Structure 1
């Protein structure tokens, strides 16, 4: 068995069937089937069995697929260590970034790093912070940038703390806020929890949700048109002219803020490319425009 065989096994498990796996690997289904038959003969086991919806992994196939993931990660780590021994800095850095930081912070940072190390390549995945944190736990990425406080026992570096505010194109009266039309948006559960806690500390009445949109950017556009108020990170609305903002404070009169973190593992930090990028990030003042 070679690396391609292990990739096939893992992709079948990930995608759920041979047809989808073949497409992901840019192979034909017959070609994948031939390699599976060869593996079955070599190992003297049945790796797949036929069902009405197509071929599925046997218990032996499931076990091999799990081993495939470990094998592929070890190969990638080995390549990374070998790359880190070469100068100048080369290799691919796998980064997971929250949607917010993808929009407002990371592009300029990656450009600056690329100018210093032009041979470095980036594999960037964006999503909700909870999704990025899960990828970090699964060791699918080297470094993650998440918003909110997660139970992480390895290396972490605080990037910045951002106030949460009530924002509106009209003057804001916190006393009448429950009766004022509010624009709600889908976001990471950590931020929603932060906002909901503040609301319950201050109001008995539920908010007057006037509309629900899918993303922060859409909420920002609706807010800019004066269609209601929103509660969101302050940086999101800083570029809206003449917007009214009131920073939230908790019951102890402390600012309600969301922390943003860089997370990474000690194991990954041994890679020169990871160590160099982490050291670079630590030189940046995230509170200032980048």
Structure 2
């Protein structure tokens, strides 16, 4: 019997109507009927009888349907196992990276590993918002994720970045005046927005009013330099203040800085050797001590 014969028996048992089963199998009804008759002749049994309500499986047909389901599951398990083996032997890693980490940090990590680690490893990089990358890691769609913010869940983590939030403006600004000044907003992840919203609410006892939305952070620096408004954001350590902007650190009422951590996240399950090697490199070369705050460069 062919694998397709087992699929026919399985589909007919789950959907005992010739026309519907034929459609699900992408076959014509006459073709399906002929194939079923051929299977019955080959096995020497009657698999199903036609009735006004559809097909009625015989005891032999019911037994074959049970074995068909087992056969299909065995084939699927075998194919999945082979794919897992292919992935393990291929030195490939799919990395998820937030946009700003990709711009300022990721390529230093990858090039450093290519020199100090295994140059045969090939990387595929997926850029997304951190909350999206977190879900992709849990679903197995990326192997490693560099994400902003603290995500609770079943993953191992390495702290790779810790930056402070700033009020960025063209000229010095009194923090008390912020609710009355134009603010520039931009696309960022939920965790970063939550930290800034919490700071605002603690200081002004109200929700942060909406600002002018401009998309990503790169365009924000130009607008701030033109004195179109101010922005509250986490400034990367490798940001170079070419415009001579005024950066005022944001601190909470207790004097602690508002900081955002970036983590390298990876599965808790055992890793193939090339992934274990990469994670070890990140831990040794790219991680930072807990509590360290990386500050932006001077212009």
Same fold (TM over 0.5): yes
Q: CA deviation at 1:74?
A: 4.2
Residues 1:264 and 1:246: Cα distance change in structure 2 (over 3 Å): same
Q: Does 1:77 align with 2:84?
A: yes
Q: How does 1:277-288 map to 2 (within 5 A)?
A: 277-285=278-286, 287=294
Change (3 A) 1:274 1:168: same
In structure 1, the gaps of 5 or more residues are 1-37, 51-65, 84-90
CA shift in 2, pair 1:43/1:221, >3 Å: same
Residues 79 and 288 of structure 1, relative CA distance in 2, 3 Å threshold: farther
- The gaps in structure 2 that reach 5 residues or longer are 12-20, 27-72, 289-293
Give 2:247's aligned residue: 245
Residue 150 of structure 1 and its aligned partner are, at CA, apart by 0.4
Asked if 1:160 is matched to 2:132, the reply is: no
Contact 1:129 1:188 in 2 (8 A): yes
Q: 8 Å contact 1:178–1:205 — kept in the other structure? A: no
Q: What secondary structure sits across from 2:201 in the alignment?
A: helix
Q: Secondary structure at the match of 1:125?
A: strand
Deviation at 1:41, TM superposition (A): 4.7
Distance 1:255 1:70 in 2: 51
Q: Is the 8 A contact 2:185 2:214 kept in 1?
A: yes
Q: Relative to 1, partners in 2 of residues 1:107 and 1:245: Cα closer, same or farther, differing over 3 Å?
A: same
Q: CA deviation at 1:238?
A: 3.5
Indicate the structure with greater strand content: 1
The count of aligned residue pairs is 230
What SS does the corresponding residue of 1:282 show, helix, strand or coil?
helix
- The residue correspondences of 1:1-290 to structure 2 (distance < 5 A) are 41-44=5-8, 45=11, 46=21, 48=24, 74-82=81-89, 91-116=91-116, 117-204=118-205, 207=208, 209-235=210-236, 238-241=239-242, 242-267=244-269, 269-285=270-286, 287=294
1:197 to 1:208, Cα distance in 2 relative to 1, 3 A: closer
2: CA distance, partners of 1:167 / 1:277: 36
1:170 deviates by 1.4
In structure 2, the residue corresponding to 1:187 is in which secondary structure?
Answer: coil
TM-score when normalising by structure 2: 0.68
Q: Name the residue aligned to 1:23.
A: none
The answer to whether the 8 Å contact 1:182/1:211 transfers is yes
| CA–CA separation in structure 1 for the residues paired with 2:75 and 2:215 | 37
Q: In 2, distance between residues paired with 1:204 and 1:163?
A: 22
Q: What is the rounded CA distance, in whole Å, between the counterparts of 1:245 and 1:97 in structure 2? A: 26
Distance 1:77 1:146 in 2: 26
CA deviations over 1:247-289 (Å, ceiling 9, x no partner):
111222211100111111132x431111111111122256499
Task: Give the deviation of 1:101 after TM superposition.
Answer: 0.6
